[in-house]
Structure 1
Amino acid sequence: MQAGLSAPVPEGEHGLRGGEERRPHHAWSDKHPAYEILNGPSGKGLDDLFTPEINSIAPAPFNGDWTKDNAATQQYDGYKVQAVLNEIDGKDHSGTKTAAVPGIFGMNFQAVSTAQKLPTSDGLTGGYLQGGTVPGPLLSKALDFVNASVGKFESALAASGHAKDTTVILSAKHGQSPMDASTLTRVPDSAIIDGLNATWKSAHPGSADLVAFSTDDDIMQLWLSDHSQAAAQFAKDYLAAHPAAGNDINGAAKTVTTSGLSKVYAGSEVANYFGTQTSDARYPDILGIAQTGVVYTGGKAKIAEHGGASADDRDVPLVVSGANDEHARTVTTAVETTQIAPTILKTLGLDPNKLQAVQIEGTKTLPQR
């Protein structure tokens, strides 16, 4: 879940001045240092970036990283909440230096994510109840934490005089699947990859492992050591022909067909799926769409994951509270999270068409009503 804040740009901070377009101060806080990618190709997209690593080891009384316990995740998110509060107060994220109140700033919350994925934490059951329609006790607690944090932002904006000229946007990068725990099948992907590698080397004596890298959550993405279409087809045929062993929400053994996948794309099929050229070296050689409820994970530590193509992964909430909005309303027009970026630019009085994605894909701003 993400909270974004868009404040007006002070006079003289946007538009053309002396032939040079200036931009507002930008700040963001997220879960990995890799989010410095938000700086963009220029390396100057952000003025204040705060990215404490969520997979670092949490202090006592917690064990493991910040994601292993929801109370730890809330403590971790609290550091980023304070960073945003400092920025609203006219300081940098640390609160130690004076800085302009950003024109665009916000943060990523992780507490909801871990409450959706952990079977239990802090004596509470994680995930959803009633077939995935009602947040369970741990998730309800995490949502209350986020709600209270957003309330702190609103109070700080009011105290700073920015409540009437700031637009607040709440959304999410992704959902988690499955929401209905009764459909869960946890499948260790290591056994699948080991089997594929062994079969490949049996058919190609002296060859290296076929799978060079993988990212498998509730989707399967494989990068192969042999990038030929023939090798990709070999992997596709193997995955389609073999069942996989796993376990259900109660830990009982469960077997799934076709490696837990409902559809497998190989080589050029993957390029077509992503809408790119076969010459693009970045797309995986294999893309597998998981069956409903399948999560690739060892053990019983998770009840949901993200990355897949299901509605649980892709349908997320979106709330926009604009400075000039006096009456709440629901917009029933279908929208996408990609529309948030050009909407922010429009709100700031900047040209959304300056974004490359808008130029390439024709992305519209969010509808006003």
Structure 2
Amino acid sequence: MSIPFRYALPSGLIAAAVLAACGSNDNSNPGTPAVASGIANAQHVLLVSIDGMHQQDLANCVAAKTCPNIAALAQTGVTYSSASTPGLSDSFPGLAALLTGGSPKTAGLFYDVSYDRTLYAPSDTQCAGPQGWNVVFDETTGIDAMNGGALTHLNGGGGFNPQAIPNAKVNGVCTPVYPHNYIKTNTLFEVVKSQMANARTAWADKHAWGYDWVNGPSGKGVDDLARTEINSIDPTTNSDYTDIYTHTEAFDNLHVQVILNQIDGKDSTGATTPGVPTVFGTNFQTLSVAQKATNASGGGYTDANFTPGPQVSAAIAYVDGAIGKMVTELKAKNLYASTVVVVTAKHGQSPSDHTKLVKNGDTLTALLEANNYLDANGKFGQFSTTSGSLNDGTGLVGTGMAQTDDVGLIWLRNPAQAAQVVATLQANLSCTSTGICADGPQASILTGAALVAKFGDPAQGRTPDIIVQPNPGVIYTSSTKKDAEHGGNAPDDSHVGLLVSYPTLQAATNTATVSLTQVAPTVLKSLALDPSLLHSVAAEGTQVLPGLGF
């Protein structure tokens, strides 16, 4: 039995706020005239993800004039008031949507921590043992984490942690699976490099080696991939950069400088001058950290209308100032007139309304363990290593796993038990000490044919057997350090901001329902390239964003 996901529509008030701030030209209806001008002759695309930025954040800051630089971009841009993530809202599927035009069904990225039944352990270099590996491509993908080591270097140690790299049989040969091998489809970086003479590409993100997948299957899509690790220890504070949003600003500032260097024709380090990238970009973590911070400490929002608390207000102001620096530099180098700027978010954050927050512990995993669907003592995958750290080379094989945040992704030890597991879940929907908090109208249990249609067939190895969406506001944790999370399909996770700006566009708000997957083909179209060269675009029929005059 499967209960389909339900989507919450954006409120009319939000759409109205953006319309008031950005102009009333609505291009979402067939009867409405198209914009008088559109994107043409673009030479560069700058893509910026403000992780955690809801559409409501974008609308509210523009209306309140607290993000003047983003508002200025909106004056020559189309704001999409109903943009959503592709069914899951973790950083991996969100960024994959932006770079491939595909959902997890074709891109194969469900989370930075996932599972694949076809893979062998990193130590099994002959692919002779059991299959089924808990794949972890995060801060521990860098060599610093080898044998559970401390993350002492900003560049993650300067290479891959071999204990993080599983193996697969490829044409009968046991082959290492790096992150770029793990993604199942090509990226826009690869298309741009193959189709445009002398094109350069660049990207900067939060994990130095886990984000290697942005290179695409060729492993060569990004010419200048900045290797920066947000979870590395900052020697000036003896903590990583996620402890408080003001510290995260220091990390994000590294990426601001990367972009400024690249606008100036330099590489990310500023050491060489290879020229301005054709497609480049980065993400910001400051807002996400501020949103997760406890409400009592000034994190998150003060009400159900996304009124920002002190930390979120400061984070939005910081990011806006950072984008302002990028735009100023584009203008100084006479590049602004030929550069498409996309401002969006890989994911939102849930819940925004603190009164809906439920931290009931990881009751979902506990229920699976109690019924022996996963090991009763939690000894499965990377949850059972010698050091207690992920990717130390001693994780267990063939165990199945559960990945939980404000969603539950379940790869069963025995897929034949799927119907039995669903029955157990449905018998424990209530929000009790043993229930999974999925008894409300916006909760769901996705499995069977509906799951296959949306996310692919679990029998192929990568797709979870079951996806549980708990009630909005539920986080499967007992942590006292955070009051919000992401990863699932709750409204606050999935309804994200999206703005496409170009000097020849007229200010408009487009109310059509769109997906982050539509950004990738739009980027290619703006550079006069064929969007169908992206394999996920061809497979899923992904369309370019409307209202841009193509």
Q: Where on the TM-score scale, by shorter chain, does this alignment land: which range? A: 0.7 to 0.9
- Distance in 2, matches of 1:284 and 1:259, equals 18
Q: What's the counterpart of residue 233 of structure 2?
A: 57
Question: What are the Cα deviations for residues 158-208 of structure 1, in whole angstroms up to 9, with x where unaligned?
Answer: 11111111111100011111111100001221x542443233289x99xx8
* Distance of aligned partners of 1:85 and 1:197 in 2 relative to their CA distance in 1, 3 Å threshold: same
Q: Which runs of 5+ in 2 are unaligned?
A: 1-40, 45-190, 381-397
SS of the counterpart of 2:510? Answer: coil
In the alignment, which of 245, 251, 254 is matched to residue 70 of structure 1? 245
Question: What are the Cα deviations for residues 283-327 of structure 1, in whole angstroms up to 9, with x where unaligned?
Answer: 1122111112101122221111111112211111111111323x4
In the alignment, which of 436, 446, 456 is matched to residue 259 of structure 1? 436
In the alignment, which of 141, 147, 155 is matched to residue 314 of structure 2? 141
Q: Does residue 320 of structure 1 match 2:500?
A: yes
Question: What are the Cα deviations for residues 50-95 of structure 1, in whole angstroms up to 9, with x where unaligned?
Answer: 131222223333x642222111111111111111111001110001
In the alignment, which of 531, 535, 541 is matched to residue 352 of structure 1? 531
Q: C-alpha displacement at 1:215, in angstroms?
A: 1.2
* Distance of aligned partners of 1:201 and 1:263 in 2 relative to their CA distance in 1, 3 Å threshold: closer
Q: What's the counterpart of residue 8 of structure 1?
A: 43
Q: C-alpha displacement at 1:240, in angstroms?
A: 2.7
Q: Which runs of 5+ in 1 are unaligned?
A: 1-5, 10-14, 246-254
* Distance of aligned partners of 1:365 and 1:31 in 2 relative to their CA distance in 1, 3 Å threshold: same
Question: What are the Cα deviations for residues 92-134 of structure 1, in whole angstroms up to 9, with x where unaligned?
Answer: 000111111001001011111111111169xx50111222421
Q: C-alpha displacement at 1:277, in angstroms?
A: 2.9
Q: What's the counterpart of residue 41 of structure 1?
A: 217
Q: Does residue 199 of structure 1 match 2:371?
A: yes
Conserved? CA contact 1:219–1:309, under 8 Å: yes
Conserved? CA contact 2:411–2:466, under 8 Å: yes
Question: Which amino acid letter does the alignment assign opposite residue 277 of structure 1?
Answer: D
* Distance of aligned partners of 1:363 and 1:243 in 2 relative to their CA distance in 1, 3 Å threshold: closer
Q: What's the counterpart of residue 406 of structure 2?
A: 218
Q: How does 1:217-236 map to 2 (within 5 A)?
A: 217-228=405-416, 231-236=417-422
Question: Which amino acid letter does the alignment assign opposite residue 139 of structure 1?
Answer: V
Q: C-alpha displacement at 1:257, in angstroms?
A: 7.7
Q: Does residue 339 of structure 1 match 2:518?
A: yes
In the alignment, which of 266, 288, 296 is matched to residue 113 of structure 1? 288
Question: Which amino acid letter does the alignment assign opposite residue 26 of structure 1?
Answer: T
Question: What are the Cα deviations for residues 242-299 of structure 1, in whole angstroms up to 9, with x where unaligned?
Answer: 3677xxxxxxxxx47841123223455532442x235321011221111121011222
- Distance in 1, matches of 2:202 and 2:486, equals 26
Higher relative contact order (CA 8 A, sep 6+): 2
SS of the counterpart of 2:372? Answer: helix
Conserved? CA contact 1:236–1:265, under 8 Å: no
SS of the counterpart of 2:457? Answer: coil
- Distance in 1, matches of 2:525 and 2:399, equals 45
Q: What's the counterpart of residue 172 of structure 1?
A: 345
Q: What's the counterpart of residue 362 of structure 1?
A: 541
Q: What's the counterpart of residue 26 of structure 1?
A: 201
Q: What's the counterpart of residue 252 of structure 1?
A: none
Conserved? CA contact 2:472–2:491, under 8 Å: no
SS of the counterpart of 1:357? Answer: helix
Q: What's the counterpart of residue 287 of structure 1?
A: 467
Conserved? CA contact 1:240–1:259, under 8 Å: no
What TM-score does the superposition give when structure 1 sets the normalisation length?
A: 0.83
Q: C-alpha displacement at 1:34, in angstroms?
A: 1.8
Q: What's the counterpart of residue 79 of structure 2?
A: none
Question: Which amino acid letter does the alignment assign opposite residue 270 of structure 2?
Answer: G
- Distance in 2, matches of 1:296 and 1:350, equals 43
SS of the counterpart of 2:426? Answer: helix
Q: C-alpha displacement at 1:217, in angstroms?
A: 0.8
* Distance of aligned partners of 1:289 and 1:8 in 2 relative to their CA distance in 1, 3 Å threshold: same
Conserved? CA contact 2:303–2:354, under 8 Å: no
- Distance in 2, matches of 1:270 and 1:23, equals 42
SS of the counterpart of 1:279? Answer: helix
Q: C-alpha displacement at 1:366, in angstroms?
A: 1.4
Q: Which structure has greater strand proportion?
A: 1
- Distance in 2, matches of 1:134 and 1:52, equals 32
Q: What's the counterpart of residue 249 of structure 1?
A: none
Question: Which amino acid letter does the alignment assign opposite residue 355 of structure 1?
Answer: L
Conserved? CA contact 2:295–2:354, under 8 Å: no
CA RMSD of aligned residues (A): 2.8
Q: C-alpha displacement at 1:362, in angstroms?
A: 1.8
* Distance of aligned partners of 1:73 and 1:20 in 2 relative to their CA distance in 1, 3 Å threshold: closer
Conserved? CA contact 2:458–2:464, under 8 Å: no
What TM-score does the superposition give when structure 2 sets the normalisation length?
A: 0.57
- Distance in 2, matches of 1:263 and 1:56, equals 36
- Distance in 1, matches of 2:324 and 2:340, equals 14
